[in-house]
């Protein structure tokens, strides 16, 4: 078992997920990207701590299990919120001017944050 490989893999997935988050407009793509980033972090949390007499450390495993359940709960709620948002405004994107996670084509308007 080579932990260094998995650290690099986790870092790569984190970067891929982050890129996906920063460029996506559709909320579901953002959720997919966030879930990728979470998985990458969980991988790090398991791989980095040392094993104990050859057996993997159970405490990070319990923490990650808790993290997975919380991630599933949050994703489920976010999906429902997305559908509701879509129903009300006709699209499932956040306006580029207001999207705090969008690094990309931001239309240069003079609108202040929250002022709509």
Which 17-76 positions form the footprint of other proteins (CB under 8 A)?
17-53, 55-76
Residue 70 vs 109, nearer CB to other proteins: 70
Min dist CB 107 to other proteins, Å, is: 10
Q: How far is the CB of 110 from other proteins (least distance, A)?
A: 12
Minimum gap (Å) between residue 109 Cβ and other proteins: 15
Size of the site for other proteins (CB under 8 A): 108
Dihedral sign for Cα atoms in the order 56, 57, 60, 64: positive
Residue 8, both tokens: 């690099």
- Identify the CA nearest to 99 among candidates 34, 28, 26: 26
Residue span 85-114 as binding mask against other proteins, x where in contact by CB under 8 A, dash where not: xxxxxx-xxxxx-xxxxxxxxx-----xxx
In DSSP terms, 93 is beta-bridged to 26
Looking at beta carbons only, is 87 or 109 nearer to other proteins?
Answer: 87
What six digits make up the tokens of 107?
Answer: 């239309």
Burial bucket for residue 84 (CB in 10 Å: 0-12, 13-18, 19+): exposed
């Amino acid at each position: 078992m080579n932990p260094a490989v998995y650290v690099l893999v986790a870092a790569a997935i984190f970067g891929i997920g982050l890129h996906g988050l920063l460029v996506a407009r559709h909320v579901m793509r953002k959720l997919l990207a966030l879930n990728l980033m979470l998985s990458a972090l969980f991988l790090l949390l398991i791989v980095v701590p040392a094993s104990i007499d050859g057996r993997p450390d159970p405490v990070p495993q319990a923490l990650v299990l808790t993290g997975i359940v919380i991630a599933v709960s949050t994703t489920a709620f976010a999906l429902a919120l997305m559908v509701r948002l879509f129903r009300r405004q006709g699209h499932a994107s956040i306006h580029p001017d207001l999207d705090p996670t969008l690094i990309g084509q931001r239309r240069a308007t003079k609108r202040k944050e929250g002022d709509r």
